[in-house]
Amino acid sequence: MASSTFKLATWNINSVRLRIGIVCDFLEKHRPDMLCLQEIKCQNDQFPRKAFEELGYKHSAVHGQKGYHGVATVSRHPLKDISSTDYVAMGDTRHVECVVTTKRGPIKVHNFYVPAGGDEADPKTNPKFDHKLKFIDEMKLLNSTHGEMPNVLVGDLNIAPLETDVWSHKQLLKVVSHTPIETDGLIDVMNKGGWTDLIRHHIPPEEKLYTWWSYRSRDWSAADKGRRLDHVWSAPELAEHLHDMLVLREARGWEKPSDHVPVMATFKF
């Protein structure tokens, strides 16, 4: 039986309407089967479905809100069982899930935008950080396999868990996104749910790797003070089929870019 590939990409786009041009360029060049977007920053009826449909992405699962947050998954294949969970009961649109059928069979895909957490890494004085920690706690109930269906979890998780996921482990230990309480929490989510970190499954954990560079840096590439905030996880049985992993660093230098870049996993079934 001939093998077939399935490509799944994730990208915090920081306003899908503002950056629909570079999204379309990415889709035309790389042709993922699915694209999971975070921070779409629009309501459901404002989502630019037509632009995606014209490129063959006729199926979508959109969970947006006015001006902030929002997640959306677009697909070249039909989606079913679309739903979302209101983590920490805050009313934010930070999660959408759906089921897509591949040559291997159905796969459930979770698309997440975890709260950034503000600037101060103290849940007692910073409500945003407290929200983030509670959000991560609730994610510990997620399992990588639902019944017999393998799951994939992608998105901007706003935590860089490994020392090599940040430009300076020592300098960022007290900075939100790399504090021990966050990194331990995210690793606990992974362990409790039986997830495999596909990026580090393919790219050795000893290798420095980033998916986000701050807008505050004048020359982001030369300074290279990045963090790996965007993730692709899966059930272990899917990890066995991982063929390639792309972190599209060049996208950070595109015109009017997001501060995050696309990450794409290719499976071969």
The β-bridge relationship of strands 149-156 and 105-113 is: parallel
Rounded to whole angstroms, the Cα distance separating 91 from 96 reads 13
Q: Which of 184, 168, 198, 187 is nearest to 107 (CA)?
A: 198
Q: Please give the pLDDT value at position 28.
A: 98
- Under CATH, to which class is 5-268 assigned? alpha beta
Helix (H) or strand (E) holding 156: strand 149-156
Which H or E element spans position 266? Answer: strand 263-268
Number of Cβ atoms within 10 Å of the Cβ of 84: 17
Q: How many CB atoms lie within 10 A of CB 126?
A: 16
Give the gyration radius of the chain's Cα atoms: 17
Q: Which of 111, 73, 76, 72 is nearest to 230 (CA)?
A: 111
Instruction: Look at residue 2 in the predicted model and tell me its pLDDT.
Output: 62
Give CA–CA dist 119/47, Å, rounded. 30
At residue 195, what is the residue type? W
Backbone angles phi, psi at 101, to 5 degrees: -95, 125
Pairing mode of beta strands 230-234, 196-197:
antiparallel
Q: Following CA atoms 79, 104, 57, 39 in sequence, which dihedral angle do they give, to the nearest 10 degrees?
A: 70
Tens place of pLDDT per residue across the chain (269 aa): 567 999 999 999 999 999 999 999 999 999 999 999 999 999 999 999 999 999 999 999 999 999 999 999 999 999 999 999 999 999 999 999 999 999 999 999 999 999 999 999 999 999 999 999 999 999 999 999 988 899 999 999 999 999 999 999 999 999 999 999 999 999 999 999 999 999 999 999 999 999 999 999 889 999 999 999 999 999 999 999 999 999 999 999 999 999 999 999 999 99
**In sequence order, what DSSP letters do the residues of 74-112 get, joined into one string?**
EESS-EEEEE---GGG-----EEEEEEEETTEEEEEEEE
CB hemisphere CA count around 224 (13 angstroms)? 10
* pTM for the full predicted model: 0.97
C-alpha 243, offset from chain centre: 19
